Amino acid sequence: MNIRKLILQGEGTTLDFKKTINNYEKIAKSLVAFANNKGGQLLIGVADDGTIKGVKSEEEEKYMITRSAHQFCKPAIEPEFEEIYIDSKLVLVAKIPQSDTKPHYALDENKKWWVYFRVNDKSILASKIIVDVLKKENTHSGQLITYTEQEQKLLKYLDQEGRITLKQFSKLTKISNQKAQRILVSFILADLIQPHSSEKEEYFTMTTPK
C-alpha cells in the first residue's frame, strides 16, 4: 500500500484520517458510515490536514476500534488492520468492508442507535429514504417499471430542473410524503435517480449514465 499517495488524495467517501482514537461513539459513527456505503479505510496516526503523526500504541488503538465495532455497532463490524511505518512513524490502517447486512446502526452518547452514511468526507445521519434503500438493497432484484402519472412527473421535473427534494416531489404530485418516499426509494434501487445528502438537506438527481 502506498500510504503517502493515499494521504495525498485527502479524506473522502472511502477514506478518513484520525490522529488518535479516544471515543467509542465517534469511531462507531465512522465505521457504520463506511459499512453502509462502499466500505473504506481509517488511517490512524494521521491528522486532518494529512500530517503523519504516528500512533503511540497500536494495540490500544486496535482494541478501541475493535470494541467499538463489536459493541457500539449493530450488526457488529469486523475491521481488518494493517501496520505501516513511514519515517519511523507507525500508521495503523483499519479497513472496513462494504457490508451485505445493511443497515448498520451506531450507538450514541445517549444510548440511542442511529444509521450513518458516508457522503464525501463526512459521516452523516441517514435520512429515512436512505435507511429504506439500505434495508431493501440486498434483496432488490431488477424489475420492469411501468411509470405512473406521478413517476412521469418526477422524471419530467428532473429533466427540466435537474434536482428535486422529497417535499417538492410531494407538492408537485399532490401525494403524501410517505408515498413520495416509496417512489423515490424504488427509483434509487432501480438506479434511475441518485440521492445527495448533506447535514442541511437531501435532494435527488437523475443518475449519470456510466
**Predicted model pTM:** 0.84
The CATH fold of domain 3-125: 3.30.950
- Would you say residue 143 has pLDDT above 60? no
- Would you say residue 140 has pLDDT above 70? no
Tell me what pLDDT residue 36 has. Answer: 95
Banded pLDDT at 184 (limits 50, 70, 90): very high
For residues 7-36, average pLDDT: 95
Pairing of strands 202-206, 122-125: unpaired
For residues 102-113, average pLDDT: 96
Tell me what pLDDT residue 105 has. Answer: 98
The CATH code of domain 135-206 reads: 1.10.10.10
In percent, how much of the chain has pLDDT > 90? 81
Please list, residue by residue across 175-204, b when 16 or more beta carbons sit within 10 angstroms of its beta carbon and e when fewer do: beeeebbebbbbbbbeebbebebeeeebbb
Strands (DSSP E) found in 10-140: 15-18, 40-44, 73-74, 80-86, 89-96, 105-107, 113-119, 122-125
Cell 451485505 -> residue: 100
Distance separating alpha carbons of residues 16 and 7, to the nearest angstrom: 9
C-alpha cell at 103: 443497515
pLDDT 10s digits, 28-70 = 999 999 999 999 999 999 999 999 999 998 999 999 999 999 9
- Would you say residue 190 has pLDDT above 60? yes
Closest CA to 50 of 14, 18, 21: 18
Q: What are phi and psi of 29, to 5 degrees?
A: -60, -45
* pLDDT averaged over every residue in the chain: 92
Closest CA to 79 of 114, 50, 44, 121: 44
In percent, how much of the chain has pLDDT > 70? 95
Domain range summary for the chain, segments of one domain joined by + = 3-125, 135-206
**200 vs 118, residue with greater confidence:** 118
Q: Is the peptide bond before 79 cis (omega within 30 degrees of 0)?
A: no
